[in-house]
């Protein structure tokens, strides 16, 4: 009951903020605003009534531990429907975008990480140990078998009664959701050496897509309609992806508690955090524009992938400022960037010898937004606060920067 109430409050706060921002015609993501508000309240309480801050942390502990346990799962829907987003892109352009995304991710990761280290040396801030963060419990065999049963029963039921729940999307929802959850559980149980190159997010995505492919073949509907049922973006007719993405706002709100746990480190290393995020965001935008022009990518596609390192919600807001942009391409590029980051971030950080959680967190979130954050923090919880604040600041600064007409014109000039 404690878990249900605490998660319910997160969802209710996110919904209320969404409605308030929509009513005020504010395009900025309401959850990021809410995250900073919660963080500020906790800081104020900590300095005035510490016991109240600790009581608030204790009350919401079940909610943010639940979210942390399932964190990568909530970023999967855009990956599952990726085939629908890229189907109309020419093969040559798709290859160029993929190269820009992969190379750009690595370059941004290095710029953000090494900038953080350089700033620390310049201001002579000594590194201190992060507060230990509790790791989520592993998935039990009972959970795995339970979701397997849901998948099999709902899959068969949907084949024989395609509109049993009113619409095909609702009928497909149980087995598509179960296949996504089951894929994540199985991927999480893989050996660490395998997960270094085959992250649970990949396993989760493949599980959902293979299930959709099997149902499309058996029902004679084909893959594309089933993937369309996965993410409908209709509140009256939701799919499995819509259910998962409904938690995204709560995920961002929960980051405030992780940031508060490491508040001493966040305050101590503010110079590294803010400077590296600003530099990496500017680098990401302008390097993408320049490389797109150099490799001969169509200007409209280059503009569409400019905010590749910024979370989807903010990236779509940014490209709406450019008349020639294609929002579907933007979503695909952002998701692909996150996918590369989620799959390779930990191994790459080890290779380039970025050891401390501050540099690792900042570099990860600045280069691979929410998916990278989810992937790294699942294995290194102590990096989550720095991932969270860099993730938020990266989106905020990118949005503010691109809202300036002079900056937009300069980006278009570089794109050509």
Share of the chain above pLDDT 90, in %: 33
pLDDT of residue 132: 59
Q: To 10 degrees, the CA torsion angle through 52, 53, 56, 60?
A: -160
With bands split at pLDDT 50, 70 and 90, how would you rate the model's confidence at 52?
A: very high
Helix 168-188 to helix 200-218 angle (10° resolution) is 140
Q: Vertex 261, ends 52 and 185: CA angle to 5°?
A: 115
Alpha helices in 262-326 (DSSP H): 263-268, 270-294, 299-304, 312-319
With bands split at pLDDT 50, 70 and 90, how would you rate the model's confidence at 148?
A: very high
Average pLDDT over residues 99-105: 91
pTM above 0.85, yes or no: no
What does the H/E/C string look like for 103-133? HHHHHHHHHHHHHHHHHHHHHCCCCCCCCCC
Share of the chain above pLDDT 70, in %: 96
The domain limits of the chain are: 2-72, 90-125+269-415, 141-230
Task: Inform me whether the pLDDT recorded for 380 exceeds 90.
Answer: no
**Per the structure block, which two tokens stand in for 103?**
């190379």
**Per the structure block, which two tokens stand in for 179?**
């296949």
pLDDT of residue 317: 75
165 φ/ψ sector (left φ>0, alpha ψ -120 to 50, else beta): alpha
pLDDT of residue 128: 60
pLDDT of residue 54: 92
Average pLDDT over residues 281-287: 94
Average pLDDT over residues 378-385: 76
Average pLDDT over residues 153-167: 86
Task: Inform me whether the pLDDT recorded for 258 exceeds 90.
Answer: no
pLDDT of residue 44: 93
pLDDT of residue 59: 94
Average pLDDT over all residues of the chain: 86
Which residues make Cβ contacts (< 8 Å) with residue 220, sequence separation at least 6?
A: none
Neighbour tally for 400: CB within 10 Å:
12
């Amino acid at each position: 009951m404690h878990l249900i109430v605490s998660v319910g409050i997160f969802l209710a706060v996110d919904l209320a903020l969404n409605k308030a921002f929509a009513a005020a015609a504010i395009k900025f993501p309401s959850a990021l605003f809410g995250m900073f508000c919660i963080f500020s309240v906790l800081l104020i309480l900590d300095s005035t009534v510490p016991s109240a801050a600790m009581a608030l942390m204790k009350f919401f502990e079940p909610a943010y531990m639940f979210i942390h346990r399932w964190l990568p799962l909530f970023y999967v829907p855009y990956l599952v429907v990726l085939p629908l987003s890229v189907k109309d892109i020419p093969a040559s352009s798709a290859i160029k975008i993929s190269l820009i995304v992969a190379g750009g991710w690595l370059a941004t990761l290095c710029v953000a990480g090494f900038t953080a280290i350089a700033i620390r040396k310049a201001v002579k801030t000594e590194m201190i140990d992060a507060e230990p963060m509790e790791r989520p419990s592993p998935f039990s065999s009972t959970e795995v078998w339970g979701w397997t049963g849901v998948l099999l029963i709902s899959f068969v039921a949907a084949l024989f009664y395609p509109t049993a729940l009113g619409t095909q999307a609702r009928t497909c929802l149980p087995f598509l959701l179960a296949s996504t959850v089951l894929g994540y559980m199985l991927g999480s149980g893989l050996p660490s050496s395998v997960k270094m190159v085959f992250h649970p997010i990949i396993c989760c995505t493949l599980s959902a897509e293979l299930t959709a492919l099997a149902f499309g073949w058996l029902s004679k509907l084909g893959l594309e309609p089933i993937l369309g049922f996965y993410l409908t973006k209709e509140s009256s007719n939701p799919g499995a992806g819509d259910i998962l993405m409904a938690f995204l706002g709560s995920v961002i709100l929960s980051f405030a508690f992780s940031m508060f746990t490491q508040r001493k480190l966040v305050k101590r290393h503010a110079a590294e955090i803010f400077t590296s995020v600003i530099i990496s965001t500017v680098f990401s935008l302008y390097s993408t524009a320049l490389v797109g022009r150099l490799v001969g990518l169509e200007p409209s596609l280059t503009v569409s992938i400019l905010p590749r390192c910024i979370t989807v919600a903010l990236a779509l807001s940014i490209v709406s400022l450019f008349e020639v942009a294609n929002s579907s391409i933007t979503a695909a590029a952002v998701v692909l960037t996150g996918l590369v980051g989620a799959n390779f971030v930990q191994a790459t950080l080890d290779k380039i010898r970025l050891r401390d959680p501050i540099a690792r967190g900042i570099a990860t979130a600045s280069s691979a937004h929410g998916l990278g954050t989810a992937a790294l923090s699942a294995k290194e919880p102590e990096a989550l606060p720095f991932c969270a604040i860099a993730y938020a600041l990266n989106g905020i600064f990118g949005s503010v920067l691109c809202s300036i007409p002079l900056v937009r014109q300069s980006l278009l000039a570089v794109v050509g």
